[in-house]
Amino acid sequence: MKLFKNSVVGILLLFFFISNNVTAQVSSKQIDSIINYAMSKFNVAGAAVAVVKDGKIIHNQGYGVKSIATKEPVNAHTQFAIASNSKAFTTAGLAILVEEGKINWEDKVKDHIPEFTMYNDYVEDNFNILDLVTHRSGLPLGMGDLMFFPDGTDFTMQDLLSSFQHFKASSAFRTKWDYDNLLYLVAGELIARKSGMTWEAFIKTRILEPLGMDNSYAALSEIKDTSNLSASHSTESGKIEVIPTFEEMMNGAAGGIFSNVDDLCQWMLLHLNAGKYGESLEKELFSAANHDQMWSIHTVMGVNKNPRYNSHFSGYGLGWFLSDVLGNMKVEHTGGLPGMLSQTVLIPDMDLGIVILTNTSNDGGAFFSSVSQTILDRYLELDDFKWIDKYADYLQSKEKKGDAITDEVWETVKNNADKPIDTQKYIGIYKDNWFGTCEVFMKENQLWIKFHRSPKLNGPLRFYKDETFAVQWEYQDMNADAFVSFNLNENQKAQNISIKGISPNIDFSFDFHDLDLQRVEE
């Protein structure tokens, strides 16, 4: 009898333990409802969302249209640019090379790429592979992104490798997190040199094909059948419109992959299974040890105290942001290119993954953030925090404040349109050591500026005040219009130029403020 009683108690305790460690289940119908509501609140042409839970795909759907021009619907196989979500593919590629003994994480970059330079000798000599992918270089946020934003520039990998010597650090090496794209391009070059194939070929043959991601591509140029490729959209003009698809970079290591939510389910399952895949998880892309390396904090981002989630830490691993929610590890990344935004969220303790792809930019990720947090809250069994409404209100407020600032600038420009300007003070050729030359000249009786290596960065210089002008670039896919200020010498001749964005909402990749443009020719 005592034995029976103890057995009953044991069974009851086991039931209690299991019931308190099994997360809530969220139905596909509930997810549909969340996304449809978000689609009604945000100006998004189309989106696709997938959720994996406990090793299974429980939701995998498209919403809205691929293009407002064709009105064709998005489906689970529609390809989107996943932008910076590509970074985790690059670190996985590095992990594969580590597995093969071709590199070690702590290898010095110069040992594999002798042309690699940095802003001082100590950093250059000690910069290792981990430093390429952990945003701790000491360089400021988005430094050098003008090399590929906007697209259509002519910079090469050799230009990039030699450019870092001209950059100015904003913090001590390995002491502060500042997001960086260019060093991921260097990581892509390292993969190419050590594997004997391009980064694109390596990602295709070593990751996409083994995982059965047959409708995913490491580059836009590799998509031969574009019938299910989403168009890119922008709301920059005040209405939603189709814009050109962002063109190729030097390589795709920082943000070049095109994929779909169906394929990305396999990517999420791979990581939730610590590098194993296949029907019985009998195959391994990379070891658990290297997976731990990717999901270990390498760069601390500070204390993240969020009472709702009882959060305590945040940091960056290898291609992943890391934090905690209600005692569960959270692994995530976002991505953004003109007209395309994406997010991947993994909660390994709950065996949960969420991926969201959209084909409309300019909302700063408000759509994907509000949707993913709403879905996650359902799994965490939290109250309805109305994330979608809160993000929509925040976005509206942010846009209103930004528009008020830019409207005031352009109103001042309009009021000063008839002010006489001595244009000869400004005309000439100016050069920045890493970005090259720009020209200030007269075009049809209008002062004009153009950058020789970035053709889309050209436009009229309209007088604002003092020695400052406002330029509305030919490029309008993203918010990038800028102040152009001239510094004059004692003879009232411009000697250098400084540039900064007009709107507070300008994307950090438009790092005009990092340019040091000095006059080189009259």
Q: How many structural domains is the chain composed of?
A: 2
**Is there a single domain that holds both residue 388 and residue 446?**
no
**Is there a single domain that holds both residue 212 and residue 97?**
yes
pLDDT at residue number 24: 74
pLDDT at residue number 16: 37
46 backbone dihedrals φ, ψ, rounded to 5° = -155, 160
pLDDT at residue number 4: 30
**Is there a single domain that holds both residue 334 and residue 478?**
no
Mean pLDDT of the chain: 94
Beta strand 311-316 with 299-306 is antiparallel
Tell me the per-residue pLDDT of 209-222, one tens digit each, with 9 for 90 and over: 999 999 999 999 99
pLDDT at residue number 521: 78
Classify burial at 55, counting beta carbons within 10 Å of its beta carbon; exposed 0-12, middle 13-18, buried 19 or more. Answer: exposed
**Is there a single domain that holds both residue 111 and residue 254?**
yes
How far does CA 411 lie from the centroid of its chain? 33
If you ran DSSP here, which 8-state letter would residue 25 be given? P
Does 150 sit behind a cis peptide bond, omega within 30 degrees of 0 on the bond before it?
yes
What CATH number does residue 430 fall under? Answer: 2.40.128.50
- For 153-286, list the strands marked E by DSSP: 232-234, 241-243, 258-259, 276-277, 283-284
In a domain, 6, yes or no: no
Neighbours of 123 (CB within 10 A): 19
**Is there a single domain that holds both residue 489 and residue 435?**
yes
Last residue of a domain, one of 362, 383, 398: 398
Structural domain for 194, as ranges: 24-138+173-398
In a domain, 458, yes or no: yes
Which residues contact residue 218 at a Cβ distance below 8 angstroms, ignoring those fewer than 6 apart? 199, 200, 201, 203, 204, 208, 252, 256, 257
Beta strand 517-521 with 428-432 is antiparallel
**Is there a single domain that holds both residue 394 and residue 428?**
no
**Is there a single domain that holds both residue 394 and residue 433?**
no
**Is there a single domain that holds both residue 58 and residue 189?**
yes
Does the pLDDT of residue 399 top 80, yes or no? Answer: yes
pLDDT at residue number 423: 95
pLDDT at residue number 11: 33
Give percent of the chain above pLDDT 90: 92
Using pLDDT thresholds of 50, 70 and 90, give the confidence band for residue 1: very low
pLDDT at residue number 14: 35
In a domain, 165, yes or no: no
**Is there a single domain that holds both residue 186 and residue 263?**
yes
Cα dihedral across residues 132, 134, 135, 139: positive or negative: negative
Tell me the per-residue pLDDT of 235-288, one tens digit each, with 9 for 90 and over: 988 899 999 999 888 999 999 999 999 999 999 999 999 999 999 999 999 999
- As a whole number of angstroms, the distance between CA 181 and CA 165 comes to 16
pLDDT at residue number 453: 97
Tell me the per-residue pLDDT of 403-414, one tens digit each, with 9 for 90 and over: 999 999 999 999
Average pLDDT over residues 447-454: 98
In a domain, 90, yes or no: yes
Using pLDDT thresholds of 50, 70 and 90, give the confidence band for residue 3: very low
In a domain, 339, yes or no: yes
Rounded to two decimals, what is the model's pTM? 0.94
Last residue of a domain, one of 355, 383, 398: 398
Q: How is 51-80 classified by DSSP, letter by letter?
A: EEETTEEEEEEEEEBS-TTT-PBP-TT-BE
What CATH number does residue 101 fall under? Answer: 3.40.710.10
**Is there a single domain that holds both residue 364 and residue 449?**
no
Tell me the per-residue pLDDT of 377-388, one tens digit each, with 9 for 90 and over: 999 999 999 999
Amino acid at 217: Y
pLDDT at residue number 22: 54
**Is there a single domain that holds both residue 392 and residue 436?**
no
In a domain, 14, yes or no: no
In a domain, 180, yes or no: yes
In a domain, 11, yes or no: no
**Is there a single domain that holds both residue 473 and residue 391?**
no
If you ran DSSP here, which 8-state letter would residue 101 be given? T
